[in-house]
Structure 1
């Protein structure tokens, strides 16, 4: 087992440019609590999951490249393989990862597990157990879930380790888990979302809660035993955005890389569902 302690690098780092934010609103009672997001089809389609067990697929309208509207294509309650809807605690979906072949995986809190998920029907199957359950609080499970190009699932637990220890980056392939890296813990931030870009780099969305509001941070990692690197690309002041929990990294038709974030409003009127987008300059 190779354990990588990722450290700051002297390599030139990418930068982020904010291109737009949209407040997404729907009147339906199921709307809200979005914790996981994937953008596909060159930025025209969005799939989101909620912590009340909803999976929703949408069509994104864009004006000059910026999101100007969201159209619902389908929405389903997450359910068991036989179709029965998951109960409240079993349905607390937090992380979403969609492989290049379309296979989708969802991580759940409270009833800690990862399930393969049919996005059209909402049915879950193929439970992936988590041997590191004892590192998680009931409401601090796998929120950061991502899948690499070779189909390896990567998971990070929101629960901070004792003594300021780094966050383990768990990898799952061929039916077995291993620790592939240690992500340094820097400040009060905790992992809430993750994704891989087309260059194989890991993007990590982190959150900190303050009396003045939520803070967000994005770090970029190259997980290479020979030349690991870490770059902090975004750190917000309190209340710059709401409770950002989901991240998706994708490329437009012209090759431009984008980062799309979504917030979890916790079904509270004082919070908003925000879709926030950045472009990446290399």
Structure 2
């Protein structure tokens, strides 16, 4: 039907199809014409949801981690999809970026038991250039990472590698970028499709003094380690993250105790798609460090996962943390936009 995206229902066949992402990004839905959002405006869109109650697939999960549920999201608006990063402004409202050059804002909806039921009040807006215009080329607006600090947001782009800040967030349709931030290494070392995939802001009263931490996806130095940097604060400088088991870093979030949680993805023809969470000791983040950490979660295509690219943490009053993870569907009929939720128990004293 003209103007609509047809999202196929998940079937047993698809759940077992190890090569479900082999053509990701190749089968793009091009028959629909997306809405045009004029610069300075936002577009309200409907988003449908299908509840996911079981993760399935027997994933490896640390005892302190629990799967709470999730939703599969779809919309009749073709611009919807390609979720790259998400940040929660409170326990309901979120802001995110699509790697197709759009903001998304909205809020989560829960059922009577407090489980994810969908999202609502969803609006899209184009990521503008410094002159307030929308870019005609995805090359310039391939947004992959996001961090929010008050009424401004830092966005990391790949292909044309840079990190800029946007404001005001109170009016996304008019938010314009700053000049790119300076880095302690030449951004030309980053791979075209493996750039700044994670941006996170450290606690202001912690050792990093509220600095912005940037981590690349799969850009390696001469020793095979991943480029990363601390931008600003008392410990500004570059560091590295040790890659493990062919997983790529797709996002990160700080936990209330200062530890850093990495979201990682793997895709191979032989193994299909995989998702992993790795916790890094926050005290180890400093210039010239090589970071590694313990694996809290790992799942493959047999579980209800997809191309997981965004994560954020919502602290709870009891000291636990709700982790919400979203996927990038690449606007492919073989992939889905998922929002999954986990609870990470408070550390034992």
Q: TM-score, normalised by structure 1?
A: 0.86
SS at match of 2:134: coil
1:258 paired to 2:322: yes
1:47 paired to 2:100: no
Given that 2:195 and 2:219 are in contact with CA atoms closer than 8 Å, whether structure 1 keeps it comes out as: no
Between the aligned partners of 1:111 and 1:239, the Cα distance in structure 2 is: 35
Residue aligning to 2:109: 61
Per-residue CA distance 1:122-149 (angstroms, 9 max, x = gap): 4222321443323211111101111112
Between the aligned partners of 2:118 and 2:163, the Cα distance in structure 1 is: 31
Per-residue CA distance 1:234-269 (angstroms, 9 max, x = gap): 111235310000110111355431111000000101
Residue aligning to 1:3: none
Residue aligning to 1:193: 251
Given that 1:96 and 1:146 are in contact with CA atoms closer than 8 Å, whether structure 2 keeps it comes out as: yes
Cα 1:176–1:19 change in 2 (3 A) is closer
Task: Return 5+ residue gaps in structure 2 as ranges.
Answer: 1-61, 205-209, 286-290
1:95 to 145, 168, 192: 145
Cα 1:30–1:19 change in 2 (3 A) is same
Using the TM superposition, give the Cα deviation of residue 160 of structure 1 relative to its aligned residue in structure 2, in angstroms.
4.2
Using the TM superposition, give the Cα deviation of residue 76 of structure 1 relative to its aligned residue in structure 2, in angstroms.
0.6
Q: TM-score, normalised by structure 2?
A: 0.70
Given that 1:40 and 1:250 are in contact with CA atoms closer than 8 Å, whether structure 2 keeps it comes out as: no
Residue aligning to 2:186: 132
2:128 to 67, 73, 79: 79
Q: Which moved more, 1:117-126 or 1:148-157?
A: 117-126
Residue aligning to 2:198: 144
Using the TM superposition, give the Cα deviation of residue 112 of structure 1 relative to its aligned residue in structure 2, in angstroms.
0.5
Cα 1:17–1:57 change in 2 (3 A) is same
Between the aligned partners of 2:234 and 2:144, the Cα distance in structure 1 is: 22
Between the aligned partners of 2:221 and 2:177, the Cα distance in structure 1 is: 33
2:72 to 16, 19, 23: 23
Given that 1:14 and 1:280 are in contact with CA atoms closer than 8 Å, whether structure 2 keeps it comes out as: no
SS at match of 1:65: coil
Cα 1:125–1:239 change in 2 (3 A) is farther
1:108 paired to 2:157: yes
More strand as a share of residues: 1
Cα 1:193–1:146 change in 2 (3 A) is same
Given that 2:191 and 2:219 are in contact with CA atoms closer than 8 Å, whether structure 1 keeps it comes out as: no
Between the aligned partners of 1:83 and 1:233, the Cα distance in structure 2 is: 42
1:123 paired to 2:176: yes
Between the aligned partners of 1:268 and 1:219, the Cα distance in structure 2 is: 28
1:224 paired to 2:283: yes
Between the aligned partners of 1:110 and 1:20, the Cα distance in structure 2 is: 34
Between the aligned partners of 2:335 and 2:76, the Cα distance in structure 1 is: 15
SS at match of 1:200: coil
Pairs aligned (count): 267
Per-residue CA distance 1:172-193 (angstroms, 9 max, x = gap): 00699512x4322211011110
Residue aligning to 1:161: 220
Residue aligning to 2:261: 203
Residue aligning to 1:235: 298
Using the TM superposition, give the Cα deviation of residue 98 of structure 1 relative to its aligned residue in structure 2, in angstroms.
1.1
Given that 2:258 and 2:283 are in contact with CA atoms closer than 8 Å, whether structure 1 keeps it comes out as: no
Given that 2:306 and 2:336 are in contact with CA atoms closer than 8 Å, whether structure 1 keeps it comes out as: yes
| Structure (1 or 2) with the larger CA radius of gyration | 2
User: What root-mean-square deviation, in Å, do the aligned CA atoms of Structure 1 and Structure 2 show?
Assistant: 2.5
